[in-house]
Amino acid sequence: MQTQFFTAHEIDKAAAILQAGETLAFPTETVYGLGADALNSEAVLKIYAAKSRPRFNPLIVHCASLEQALEQGHFNEMALKLAKRFWPGPLTLVVPLKNKNLSDIALAGLQSVALRVPNHPLALELLRKVNRPIVAPSANPSGFISPTKAFHVHDLNGRIGGILDGGACQVGVESTIVACLDKPVLLRAGGLAREVIEAITGKLEISDELIAPGQLKSHYAPRNPIRLNATSFAKNELVLGFGECEGMSLSRDGNLQEAALNLFAYLRELDSLGQPIAVMPIPSHGLGEAINDRLKRAAT
Ligand code: TXA
Ligand code: MG
């Protein structure tokens, strides 16, 4: 398959790719997603094929607005409160399924659906133009590092319909996932800090791995060995630091938001040099929870 490349000015052509039942990589504020029409199982299957993604791992349905999201799932009071407060934004809500026309394959047969309204002008414009819910996992081969720049998606060249280039993402790690089936439960740490959500929900329950079927222990894996919480370094090791340090620093002023933004791009850059990577300790509050989660999976 010939992958087509689009700039922001060519958004109409990019939208047409999705409408034709093909896959399109597009920017969101968190990471680049690989989109397909959520109502078209044939299109959705192309996502699983392009990523070599296990079929039991359901996809997030992206909506242009809260109104569109309300047509897809049943929102309890807490879900509605969270959606109104944080959408558009890096928060995914898992709620009971309402729209039975959503592709069964996208939902991996579940009776719940993961929904999100992304906070990215180009993503929102695309979703409005296509005028359909769009499923989108991160646009990387399954198990590899998520893309935060358009050129990172080139790992999928020849396997997807197109790439819409919207520059670098602004958050850098995937959305936080909260299930609102009964009491709210944290399924995945992500781009919206848990503390910010808990200011509304109170202390969140944290799921065991079984509830978020795609939360594989090993994920985001670089090709070279990676060691965490390193405080001393071997000669051949490339340092990924935090704060002032000798090697590459995720944030010289110790800013966790900046560190999240740089995490995947820096991991890719270091990995391309073909030597083991040693990562310095990173605080675990705020976006540090998502950063440490991704690093732990990368090291497994
Ligand atoms: O920031 C993001 O969320 C990005 C951008 C593209 O929006 N997307 C993303 O998708 O990270 P993905 O496929 O890499 O991760 C989706 C996660 C998986 O762990 C999947 O198991 C979980 O969401 N998920 C989807 N539907 C679910 C459901 N009904 N119940 C529980 N977990 C679900
Ligand atoms: Mg992913």
pTM over 0.85: yes
Q: Of residues 263 and 218, which shows the higher confidence score?
A: 263
Residue indicated by tokens 């399109």: 24
Q: What is the pLDDT of residue 217?
A: 61
| Average pLDDT for the chain | 95
Which ligand does the CA of 60 lie closest to?
1
Closest-CA residue, ligand 1 atom 6, reads: 33
Across-strand partners of 100? none
What percent of the chain clears pLDDT 70, i.e. is strictly above it?
Answer: 96
Closest-CA residue, ligand 1 atom 24, reads: 58
Give, for ligand 1, the residue of 174, 219, 261, 293 to mutate: max count of ligand atoms closer than 8 Å to Cβ.
174
Interval 156-173: pLDDT, tens = 999 999 999 999 999 999
Interval between CA 146 and ligand 2 midpoint (Å) = 6
Beta-carbon neighbours within 5 Å of ion ligand 2 = 138
Interval 59-77: pLDDT, tens = 999 999 999 999 999 999 9
- Given a cut of 80, is residue 218 above it in pLDDT? no
Mean pLDDT of 172-189: 96
- Given a cut of 70, is residue 295 above it in pLDDT? yes
What percent of the chain clears pLDDT 90, i.e. is strictly above it?
Answer: 92
Interval between CA 269 and ligand 1 midpoint (Å) = 25
Which ligand does the CA of 31 lie closest to?
1
- Given a cut of 60, is residue 212 above it in pLDDT? no
Closest-CA residue, ligand 1 atom 15, reads: 137
pLDDT band at residue 246 using 50, 70 and 90 as cut-offs: confident
Interval between CA 73 and ligand 1 midpoint (Å) = 15
Q: What is the pLDDT of residue 14?
A: 98
Determine if ligand 1 sits within 6 Å of the CB of residue 265. no
Determine if ligand 1 sits within 6 Å of the CB of residue 94. yes
Determine if ligand 1 sits within 6 Å of the CB of residue 117. no
Q: What is the pLDDT of residue 215?
A: 59
3-state SS string for 189-244: CCCCCHHHHHHHHCCCEECCCCCCCCCCCCCCCCCCCEECCCCCCCCCCEEEECCC
Interval between CA 44 and ligand 1 midpoint (Å) = 14
pLDDT band at residue 1 using 50, 70 and 90 as cut-offs: confident
